[in-house]
């Protein structure tokens, strides 16, 4: 598990609980490519959906990691992402997503379509994964997608810095964090509220006490 950076301003994160990172709802996103950025953001759904709190009061912690090297294989980016995802999915609360990719140019370079291959590989494996707590084989676990332009316009570098989440250097992990934050914002802003949250993250009564 990559290092967890706690940014909770309300003293909700309990470091005495060794499984705290599996208790709170969390969203995991990948910005796939030759070098991929992965981020996980933990948040308080009561603050988000009941208290209608602003973003800094909703966020609890984040983690980030770069992936590089081969796309496929046991040590490839796809499998490393899925192993981390599996660890985070040991308890209810996880939603998983990937940045979408729309080719805007004619480019025959092998690396150009790396984001497409990685996302497709992750999507395929998740489609064969049984959702947590379900015995019957269904449609697998969904991989949500968001456009890079939506994420960047909603959470630019200045906003990430204000949230104490900006990482200097290559932007891949910052882009993954932008997607996590946009996902959380949309849980509140799309009008579906609690129903949409339950659909994407499941439900635990203790989250709302």
User: Per residue in 101-157, pLDDT tens?
Assistant: 765 555 556 665 789 999 999 999 999 887 876 555 567 899 999 999 999 999 999
Res. 60: pLDDT tops 80: yes
Question: What is the C-alpha to C-alpha distance for residues 181 and 200, in angstroms, rounded to an integer?
Answer: 15
The structure's pTM equals: 0.93
Q: Order of strands across the sheet with 144-146?
A: 4-6, 59-68, 35-43, 26-31, 94-99, 144-146
Closest CA to 187 of 45, 59, 85: 45
Question: What is the C-alpha to C-alpha distance for residues 206 and 101, in angstroms, rounded to an integer?
Answer: 37
Are the C-beta atoms of 30 and 95 separated by less than 8 Å?
no
- What pLDDT score was predicted for residue 38? 98
Are the C-beta atoms of 118 and 33 separated by less than 8 Å?
yes
- What pLDDT score was predicted for residue 99? 94
CATH of 4-198, picked from 3.30.1220.10, 3.40.190.10, 3.30.70.1890, 3.30.420.10, is 3.30.420.10
Question: What is the C-alpha to C-alpha distance for residues 130 and 100, in angstroms, rounded to an integer?
Answer: 23
DSSP conformation class of 80: H
């Amino acid at each position: 598990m990559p290092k967890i950076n706690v940014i909770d301003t309300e003293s909700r994160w309990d470091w005495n609980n060794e499984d705290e990172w599996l208790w709170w709802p969390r969203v995991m996103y990948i910005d796939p490519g030759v070098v991929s950025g992965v981020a996980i953001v933990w948040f308080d759904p009561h603050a988000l959906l009941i208290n209608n709190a602003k973003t800094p009061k909703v966020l609890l912690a984040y983690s980030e990691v770069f992936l590089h090297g081969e796309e496929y294989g046991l040590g490839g980016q796809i499998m490393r992402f899925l192993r981390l995802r599996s660890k985070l999915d040991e308890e209810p609360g996880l939603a998983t997503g990937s940045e979408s990719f729309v080719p805007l140019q004619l480019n025959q370079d092998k690396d150009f379509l790396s984001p497409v291959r990685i996302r497709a590989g992750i999507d395929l494996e998740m489609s064969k994964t049984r959702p947590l707590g379900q015995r019957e084989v269904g449609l697998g676990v969904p991989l949500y997608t968001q456009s890079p332009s939506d994420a960047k316009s909603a959470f630019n570098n200045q906003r990430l810095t204000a949230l104490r989440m900006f990482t200097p250097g290559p932007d891949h992990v910052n882009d993954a964090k932008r997607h996590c934050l946009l996902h959380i914002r949309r849980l509140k802003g799309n009008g579906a509220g609690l129903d949409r949250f339950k659909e994407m993250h499941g439900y635990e009564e203790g989250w709302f006490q």
